[in-house]
Amino acid sequence: MAVVSDSSLRNSMPLFGRAGAGVAALLLAGVSFGATSFGAVHSAYAAPPAGNMVASTKPPAAQWIQHEVLPGERLAEIADRYAVSTASIARWNKLDAEHPHYRSGQKLRVQTQLPERQRQKVHYAVREGDSWARIAERFHVPQHDLQHVWNHADGSPLRVGQEILVWSEPTPAPASNDAGDGYDDGYDENNDDDARSGTLPEAAQSVGGPAHGHLVGGVQIPRNDALYTLRDPERAYGSSHAIAALQRGIAAFRHDSSFSRELLIEDMSVRRGGRFGPHHSHRSGRDVDIALPLQSGAVAYIDWAATWQLIHALVGTGEIRYIFLSRQRQQLLYKAAKQAGASEAELDSVLQYPRRARLAIVRHAHGHTQHMHVRFRCGPQESSCEEI
């Protein structure tokens, strides 16, 4: 087993805010990235005390829900909201897969592993100082839908007291304090029981590009309920390099944030890579979809502070090529990043928003509103891998 030296490991992990120091200390306690034994990082999160463990290692059970179609809502948006394919929704509701016809107010059956995420109808009275943009931001909805689809507004200015229709995301529940002041990973550096290490075969390699490549010796993302939940293990194969970087990033996120709720990994690749519907990419084991972190409570509501911390930690691995997220969602992410104290230089290098032409890691992709699509770089030993 090839063992990476302390100095080379430090050089391979750029310090990106807090994501470097705490996790690097854990990594240096016992990680080797030849056969990729995660040592302290893996054991810190894979074996916390029983009281902190999720009871089951199975993916969350799917349930049938009914989704009422909103005015102007596209099938692709509904599919993304529940992490399913448009083809599945068409099949479940006996719609034409090529040209599905449905109407506003129609209820569609959806089988999903996510909580019900039906928007709520709100009649909002315009206040002093309101604008379409400000109201859209307040309710976390697209301004175009608010102004032109739901209210058929022309260019006339809003009037104080005017009633407008908003299809709002579910109201967040008060943040839970169950996790105390931080995430309890159960790691005790003086406890010999935490010296166990998990291994990941180093032979899995990405070949070709994300949209036309395949996997050689694909390996499955290890089950690790303390870090994440796999939606479907059979759709969770990747290259050794990408999976190692994914685990480092999520471990850093758990270490540096107070987020203690479930983080759902949706799709990566199938065992041998290649064509993988409904995705256009995800063929070479370097693309992974991660559901946006949710706040606690009975209803689903995106935790934008945690989303920024997760992206911050993933970028801190130095192995991220791109992260795809819709522009409207980037606007909310940008606000959370500013509130977290991100510097202008960091925002400039990470987020494409607010300037459309800017090159950055987080880029617009239509329909990516409930999950982020993360693309990892090729590994140093992947000579047939293509960066795109």
pTM of the model: 0.56
Same-domain pairing of 98 and 224: no
CB 327 within 8 A of CB 347: no
CA 23 to mean position of chain CA atoms: 20
The count of structural domains within the chain is 2
Same-domain pairing of 294 and 220: yes
Same-domain pairing of 277 and 205: yes
Read off the pLDDT of residues 269-318 as tens digits, 9 standing for 90 and up. 998 899 888 888 999 999 999 999 998 765 568 999 999 999 999 999 99
The rounded distance, in Å, linking the Cα atoms of 115 and 118 is 9
Contacts of 174 (CB under 8 A, 6+ apart): 297
Same-domain pairing of 212 and 354: yes
Write phi, then psi, for 321 (nearest 5 degrees): -85, -55
Same-domain pairing of 146 and 211: no
DSSP track, 187-246: --TT-GGGG---B--S--EEEB-TTT-EEES-EEPPP-TTT-EES-GGG-EE-HHHHHHH
Same-domain pairing of 141 and 270: no
| The predicted structure's pLDDT at residue 297 | 62
Q: What kind and span of H or E run contains 134? A: helix 132-139
Report if residue 178 sits inside a domain: no
The rounded distance, in Å, linking the Cα atoms of 225 and 232 is 13
CB 45 within 8 A of CB 188: no
Same-domain pairing of 256 and 324: yes
Read off the pLDDT of residues 73-95 as tens digits, 9 standing for 90 and up. 889 888 888 878 889 999 999 99
- C-beta pairs of 184-193 under 8 Å, 24+ apart in sequence: 184/48, 184/52, 184/260, 185/44, 185/45, 185/48, 185/226, 185/254, 185/255, 186/44, 186/47, 186/48, 186/49, 186/52, 186/226, 187/26, 187/40, 187/43, 187/44, 187/45, 187/48, 189/29, 189/40, 193/47
| The predicted structure's pLDDT at residue 109 | 93
Count Cα neighbours of 374 within 13 Å in the Cβ-side half-sphere: 30
Report if residue 220 sits inside a domain: yes
Q: What kind and span of H or E run contains 165? A: strand 163-168
| Residues of the chain falling short of pLDDT 70 | 1-61, 170-203, 297-300, 357
Single residue among 168, 189, 207 that ends a domain in this structure: 168
Same-domain pairing of 157 and 80: yes
Same-domain pairing of 203 and 164: no
Contacts of 46 (CB under 8 A, 6+ apart): 38, 196, 198, 222, 224, 226, 227
Rg of the chain on CA atoms, in Å: 22
Pinpoint the alpha helices (H) of 257-350: 304-315, 327-339, 344-350
Domain that holds residue 70: 63-168
| The predicted structure's pLDDT at residue 182 | 34
Same-domain pairing of 357 and 218: yes
| The predicted structure's pLDDT at residue 300 | 64
Tally the residues of the chain: 388
CB atoms within 10 A of CB 352: 22
Same-domain pairing of 204 and 162: no
Q: How far apart are the first and last CA of the chain?
A: 31
3-state class percentages of the chain: helix first, strand second, coil last, to nearest 5:
30, 15, 55
Report if residue 73 sits inside a domain: yes
CATH of the domain at 259: 3.30.1380.10
Contacts of 124 (CB under 8 A, 6+ apart): 135, 139, 163, 164, 165, 166
Report if residue 22 sits inside a domain: no
